[in-house]
Each structure stands twice: as structure tokens, then as C-alpha cells.
Amino acid sequence: MKTQLTLTPDPIDEPALIAEREMSDGMGAALIFHGVVRAQEGEATIAAIDYEVFDDMACHQFELIFEEIDRQWPIESVRVVHRVGVVPVNEPSLWLELIAPHRAEAFQACQFLINEMKQRVPIWKRPVVLLA
Amino acid sequence: MTVTVKFWSYFKDHTECAETSLELPAGATLGEAHAVVIAQFPVLGDMQSSTLKAVGVNYQPDEFLLSDDDEISLFPPVQGG
């Protein structure tokens, strides 16, 4: 399984990512997921989220998740982009792409990846609150 | 032996530092190191049960035997995505 992980302070350039896609003839599903910053964080209206990441451990934990996906599903490739630093409301902080023969395994692996990421990848968020 | 302890997310705010170092007896465990950190920074005691602990880039249990120069990380639950 091919994997690509990017942790970046830059906005996610989806057209560029899609232009770089590699997908073999036997693949029938290309699943893309955006995790987008919401304006509400609990009771507060926020302007952005400031993401902090422990880079080395995050990369290692993502690799462990990728290995588990490779064992469980026939995924051809996984690409993950997670932003770090300040991400404004309505912008994606997370971009995932999974290429698989069929949709079922793509959706299952996508859910697994996000669930595992939220359990073990050391990324934290701090809301940036709007000033009155 | 000497180990480094790094704090992440709001743990850094509570401790007012990004890292500290500990002198521990040979054979000390991660759980024992955590207890020493809490003695040094009592505010982290309130979050003891939810604190995640890693050595290097791997999560480890309290029973994990530390080695000289290990780098411990202590942090709150993660929140990626």
C-alpha cells in the first residue's frame, strides 16, 4: 500500500493533490474526506483552531495506523494531509484520500483511520475565540 | 539515571515549561517518573488518570522500565482532525 503523510501549516491544495493522484486500473473507489473547522466549539463561537502536533510521534503513529489498514483492507493508497497552526473556520484541517477496489473497504478504512487518529495521534487543538 | 520529560498542549501552560529533567534510580518505571513529575508540578495531579504517556514515539504503560536518556512525553487526550 502506498502512503503519503503531510503535516503542514499551509492551506490544503486539493486540486494539486488530485492532479498527483495515482490509481491503477483495478481500483474502483477514490474516497476523499475533508475535516473542516466548525464555527462552534462547545458554547463558544470561534474564529479558528490552532493545532499543535508532536511531529515525530504523530508520523510514527500514523505509520502504525497505515500498517493496520494494510493488514485489514485491500487499499491501494492512503494520503493524509493534516494542517498545523491556525486554521480558520470553514477551512479543512484534515484531508484524506483512500484508493480501493470497491467503496465498502474505502469507507471502512477511512472510518478506521479517523477513529484511530483521534485516539492516538498526538495532535491537539486550541480554539481561537472571536473578540467582542 | 537522567530522563527528559516533555509537556504538550495545555500541560505546558500548567507547568509553565516545555520540558524538565528528572534524576531517577536505576530500574525506575514510567509510572514512578510520572509520580515524581506530579510531586514537582501538583497541578498535573488533577489530570493524572487522563494523562497519556509516551517514551520516544511510542505509548507505554506505567510498568515500562526507563533507561538513561529516555525522553518521556506527557500530554492530555489527543484531538486531531
Annotate A14-79 with DSSP letters as a single string. HHHHHHT----TT--EEEEEEEE--SEETTEEEEEEEEEE-HHHHHHHHHHHHHHHHHHS--SEEE
Provide the β-strand partners of residue A82. Answer: A7, A94
Instruction: Give B80's DSSP letter.
Output: -
Q: A23 CA to chain B: closest CA distance, Å?
A: 25
pLDDT at residue A132, rounded to an integer? 62
Cβ-based contacts of A91 with chain B (< 8 Å): none
d(CA A40, CA A46): 6
Q: Which of B10, B56, B78 sits opposite A122 (nearest CB)?
A: B78
**Mean pLDDT of all residues in A25-47:** 95
Helix (H) / strand (E) element for A87: namely: strand A85-88
Q: Is B55 contained in some domain?
A: yes
Domains and CATH numbers, chain A: 2-11+27-129 (3.90.1170.40)
Strands A44-53 and A85-88, how do they pair? antiparallel
How confident is chain B (81 residues) per 10-residue block, as mean pLDDT? 98 96 97 98 96 98 98 96 88
Say if the Cβ atoms of B80 and A57 lie within 8 Å.
no
ipTM, two decimals, is 0.95
Q: Which of A61, A117, A120 sits opposite B81 (nearest CB)?
A: A117
Record the cell numbers describing residue A125, joined without a space: 487543538
Expressed as residue numbers, the domain containing B22 is 2-75
Q: Is B7 contained in some domain?
A: yes
Asked if A111 contacts A75 with a C-beta cutoff of 8 angstroms, the reply is no
Contact status of B76 with chain A (Cβ, < 8 Å): yes
**Mean pLDDT of all residues in A55-60:** 98
Length of chain B as a residue count: 81
Residue A130, pLDDT > 80, answer no
Say if the Cβ atoms of A121 and B80 lie within 8 Å.
yes
Q: Is B51 contained in some domain?
A: yes
Count up the domains in chain B and report the number: 1
Provide the β-strand partners of residue B44. Answer: none
What one-letter code names the amino acid at A26?
A: G
Say if the Cβ atoms of B81 and A61 lie within 8 Å.
no
Residue A51, pLDDT > 80, answer yes
Q: Is B28 contained in some domain?
A: yes
d(CA B65, CA B42): 23
Q: Is B80 contained in some domain?
A: no
Contact status of A119 with chain B (Cβ, < 8 Å): yes
Asked if B42 contacts B31 with a C-beta cutoff of 8 angstroms, the reply is no
CATH number, domain containing residue B12? 3.10.20.30
What one-letter code names the amino acid at B26?
A: A
Contact status of B75 with chain A (Cβ, < 8 Å): yes
